[in-house]
Structure 1
Amino acid sequence: MARFRRLKNYDITVDKQKAYTHNRLQILIHNHSNRLVGAIIDIGNSPRNSKGKNKTTVSNPQNEGLRFIDDSASNSVPDLFDSPRKTALRRNLKSWYRKKRRELPWRDTSEPYRIWISEIMLQQTTVAAVIPYYHRFFERLPDLVDLATADEDAVLQLWEGLGYYSRARNLHKAAKLLIDEFDGEFPRDVATLQKLPGIGRYTAGAIASFAFGVRAPIVEANTLRLYSRLLAYRDDPKSTAGQRLLWQFAEDILPKTDVGDFNHALMDLGATVCRPSEPDCPECPLVRVCRTAELGLQAEIPLAKQKPQITDLTEVCFAIRHGDEYLLRRRQAGEWWTGLWDFPRLSLTAEEVATLGIGSGQRNPKRSKSKMLPGLELIPSAVNDRLKQEVSTLTGVEIHTGELLEVLKHGVTRYRIRLLCFKADYAQGTIRSDAELEWVHPDAFSEFALTKTARQLANRLTPDRTETQ
């Protein structure tokens, strides 16, 4: 296929294979929502027009009202939904939302502080997972001043288990900035909100529309999928062109009033009806204006994102005991989980993993160490000497390594990590004064913001304690 010329608001593609073998050329016509309209252009033996050129005949099954224009005509981006479609979309969505809106704890407030916290928590995290963290956060830090004056450790501890800890650090930075430079008041415009740490275009639009009623569009995971289907957009919705199109569409359909409820309704519809797989089209209030539903392409739109190639890693951590205390280390800038506390942790090379005789790992192993890694109770000497030296360099203390306590599996971005947790006893040395290291009694583990795996191991070392969320 090749791009041939343009109609106003439409792209034409010519089937070149038929160009020299038939008097009839098949022309494929797509509008700017990437919806195939379809047309047949007759040339060759077709009647001549008044200027002596072959007359064209257009088959237009979708009744799109097509017409030719000059190739030199403006390629301005068109109205993506005509006025009747937009009116129907707003009316039907509003009616549906009155009956089907989700009751969520951050929905019954226009307080920008609470809306901001909820939106940051909801990034990369499900609603069900966020709710208990949301309540706990406001029990400890009920207003902006409380957050700005809190220690970063306290903020990280409240965030423990939600992951993506840079979100919590940015919250803390932004709170201080709001107090110092904005007199504790949230900006009402999207552009200024986006200047705060951790606030992007979507979050700024959410705060502005939910808290202040500003006519600001939103595009996040649920609405991106919904918009792509409404427009039957077949290309990558996260590409530059896709983002430009969907953000324009999101702005184009906004009502003049009640923008916050409208944006909430769009998000709810995407989350509960226009689901990633098996969307509930019969229950969708927008099915009559949805171009993907017209074409039956729900399984193909939006274009599935390419899955990242997974890299397997094997790491080791040591529960180093000295009397009744264990050694914890704060993870540093440039490391995963910056600012959180962990047991001393090291990576194994591929050769060392092979030396352990455990291969690339099993999926979803049982918690029993004997079932997880049969035959591996102690670290082989070939690996042990290197790890002991690394621990000494990292912490300043020398250790005697012990038996395998636990094997934990987790993931970070495109990495699938198997963590071998070993006992170890303090031998000699003093912890480095230039590193953040502390000897901690198990009763005090709850006072530290730990990584997820460190919390799991801490609970193993204190089995009588209830697991911390």
Structure 2
Amino acid sequence: MTLDVPALDAGRLAAIRAPLLAWYDRQKRDLPWRRTKEPYAIWLSEVMLQQTQVSTVIPYWERFLARFPSVQALAAAPLEDVLAAWKGLGYYSRARNLHRAAQEVTAQFGGRFPSTAKALLTLPGFGRYTAGAVASIAFGEEAPLVDGNVARVLSRLFVVEGLPGDRAREARLWALAGALVKGERPGDFNQALMEHGATVCRPERPLCLLCPVREACLAYQTGRTAELPPAKVRATPKLLTLALAVWPHGDTLLFARRAEKGLFGGLWELPAVEVAPGAPEAEAATRLSEALEVPLTAQGVLGTVKRQLTHRALTLHLLRVTGPQRPSRAAAFHELRWCTPAQASELGMSTAMQRALDAALAKGVLPDVAR
């Protein structure tokens, strides 16, 4: 895509670049990953910050680094341990890709991260944004990046039209980011763009009077900051209903680990199967019996947990069950395990499934001593 010449005028780019860097030096937040140039630590922060707020990420980042202090340590760890350390952050495909990429870095690059965005793109889970972030911040490459914050800043500075996801709009944003990053301190400049979008050029009520580049902002000059960028049209979440087996035995419950692909891939749960909304208890029990490959008897519904995921409206029906034969393996699940609640707390489990477990325990399915 060819950009118009005025948008890429060198003088205008300099008028944006220098003030933003100076503002970043004065106003940047003191975040722990900004105190290092270690690519592993920077990569970890960038992956965690996708879809997650900074205040939530900081303690996770610190605990994760303490548990897996190097890319080699992460590569050598069982995936189950990695998912357990990720517990509560959501979007678990990020953790699975972290693990796979760490193994690639160790096996293919001797434990040293490639220093260019082009090479980083060959690793699992590395898209253009992550590759640009690590290459520029850790290695000083003039590699652009565009995330939601950067897209908003550039859309306003240069009046970039089009809905999020539009190919022509995305190409223009990346071209602008590529032009702006060229020069001194490319990593700091990329962080300045992101920081500006997070703290000043906000989605709603942007702080234009505090903006160091407002005189160069075409949206500010034309009174269009409120309408740029246009809001992304979100698809209606799909309904998903699961029946969960709450099967007590002594002071333990039955838990299952899902296959590594798909929703909640690789995570632990009270064994679950998909059912139609409003499915009768007997039908849910039959489906669970088939999945666990043992006969079981339903003893009543303990309750329902509802969770709103990004693309799904999730309903979890808790079905108390029992049976003459305790299962130890089933083809529908990667692994089965009988655990006390204390043991289950160490498993990698999604927030939705943790809420379901909490609801089941609150119904007194286990002796008090086990809780």
User: By the TM > 0.5 criterion, same fold?
Assistant: yes
Aligned partner of 1:399 in structure 2 is 296
Aligned partner of 1:140 in structure 2 is 67
| Mapped partners of 2:3, 2:70: distance in 1 | 46
Aligned partner of 1:94 in structure 2 is 21
For the pair 1:437 / 2:364, whether they are aligned, the reply is no
**Cα 1:433–1:199, aligned 2, differ >3 Å: closer, same or farther?**
same
For the pair 1:220 / 2:119, whether they are aligned, the reply is no
Residue type at the aligned position of 1:448: L
- How far 1:347 sits from its partner (Å)? 2.7
Aligned partner of 1:270 in structure 2 is 197
| Mapped partners of 1:339, 1:310: distance in 2 | 23
The 3-state SS of whatever aligns with 2:163 is coil
The 3-state SS of whatever aligns with 1:313 is strand
- How far 1:423 sits from its partner (Å)? 2.6
Contact 1:409 1:416 in 2 (8 A): yes
**Cα 1:317–1:127, aligned 2, differ >3 Å: closer, same or farther?**
same
| 1:129-172 Cα distance to aligned partner (Å, 9 max, x none) | 21111011011001111101101100011111111111111111
* TM-score normalised by structure 2 residue count: 0.91
**Cα 1:150–1:192, aligned 2, differ >3 Å: closer, same or farther?**
same
| Mapped partners of 1:76, 1:129: distance in 2 | 38
- How far 1:184 sits from its partner (Å)? 1.1
The 3-state SS of whatever aligns with 1:107 is helix
Aligned partner of 1:422 in structure 2 is 319
Contact 1:327 1:343 in 2 (8 A): yes
| Mapped partners of 1:406, 1:280: distance in 2 | 46
Aligned partner of 1:120 in structure 2 is 47
**Residue of structure 2 aligned with 1:449, choices 333, 348, 352:** 348
**Equivalent residue runs for 1:22-61 within 5 Å:** none
Contact 2:302 2:360 in 1 (8 A): no
| 1:15-36 Cα distance to aligned partner (Å, 9 max, x none) | xxxxxxxxxxxxxxxxx9xxxx
Contact 2:136 2:187 in 1 (8 A): yes
For the pair 1:157 / 2:109, whether they are aligned, the reply is no
| Mapped partners of 2:292, 2:131: distance in 1 | 42
**Equivalent residue runs for 1:71-90 within 5 Å:** 77-78=4-5, 80-90=7-17
Aligned partner of 1:303 in structure 2 is 230
**Cα 1:263–1:398, aligned 2, differ >3 Å: closer, same or farther?**
same
Structure number, greater radius of gyration: 1
Aligned partner of 1:243 in structure 2 is 170
| 1:294-326 Cα distance to aligned partner (Å, 9 max, x none) | 111112111221121233333321211122221
| 1:33-55 Cα distance to aligned partner (Å, 9 max, x none) | xxxxxxxxxxxxxxxxxxxxxxx
The 3-state SS of whatever aligns with 1:417 is strand
Contact 1:210 1:259 in 2 (8 A): yes
| Mapped partners of 1:192, 1:284: distance in 2 | 35
The 3-state SS of whatever aligns with 1:401 is strand
Aligned partner of 2:271 in structure 1 is 344
**Residue of structure 1 aligned with 2:305, choices 379, 401, 408:** 408
Contact 1:113 1:143 in 2 (8 A): yes
The 3-state SS of whatever aligns with 1:447 is coil
Which stretch of structure 1 is more off in the superposition, 453-462 or 204-213? 453-462
**Cα 1:413–1:102, aligned 2, differ >3 Å: closer, same or farther?**
same
Contact 1:318 1:423 in 2 (8 A): yes
Aligned partner of 1:197 in structure 2 is 124
Contact 2:295 2:325 in 1 (8 A): yes
| Mapped partners of 2:299, 2:92: distance in 1 | 32
Residue type at the aligned position of 1:306: V
Contact 2:247 2:320 in 1 (8 A): yes
- How far 1:237 sits from its partner (Å)? 4.3
| Mapped partners of 2:128, 2:354: distance in 1 | 34
The 3-state SS of whatever aligns with 2:32 is coil
- How far 1:79 sits from its partner (Å)? 5.0
- How far 1:98 sits from its partner (Å)? 1.9
Which stretch of structure 1 is more off in the superposition, 321-330 or 288-297? 321-330
Aligned-residue RMSD, C-alpha:
2.2
Contact 2:164 2:232 in 1 (8 A): no
| 1:204-259 Cα distance to aligned partner (Å, 9 max, x none) | 11101111111111111100010001011121243111111111111112242111
| Mapped partners of 1:326, 1:398: distance in 2 | 17
Aligned length: 363
- Give aligned-pair identity as a percent: 38
| Unaligned stretches of 5+ residues in structure 2 | 363-367
**Cα 1:334–1:258, aligned 2, differ >3 Å: closer, same or farther?**
closer
Structure richer in helix, relative to its length? 2
| 1:423-454 Cα distance to aligned partner (Å, 9 max, x none) | 33334454445442122222311231112222
**Cα 1:88–1:307, aligned 2, differ >3 Å: closer, same or farther?**
same
| Mapped partners of 1:222, 1:200: distance in 2 | 16
Contact 2:255 2:271 in 1 (8 A): yes
Aligned partner of 2:365 in structure 1 is none
**Cα 1:171–1:444, aligned 2, differ >3 Å: closer, same or farther?**
same
| 1:366-385 Cα distance to aligned partner (Å, 9 max, x none) | xxxxxxxxxxxxxxxxx222
| Unaligned stretches of 5+ residues in structure 1 | 1-31, 33-74, 354-382
* TM-score normalised by structure 1 residue count: 0.73
Contact 1:145 1:175 in 2 (8 A): yes
Higher relative contact order (CA 8 A, sep 6+): 2
Contact 2:291 2:330 in 1 (8 A): no
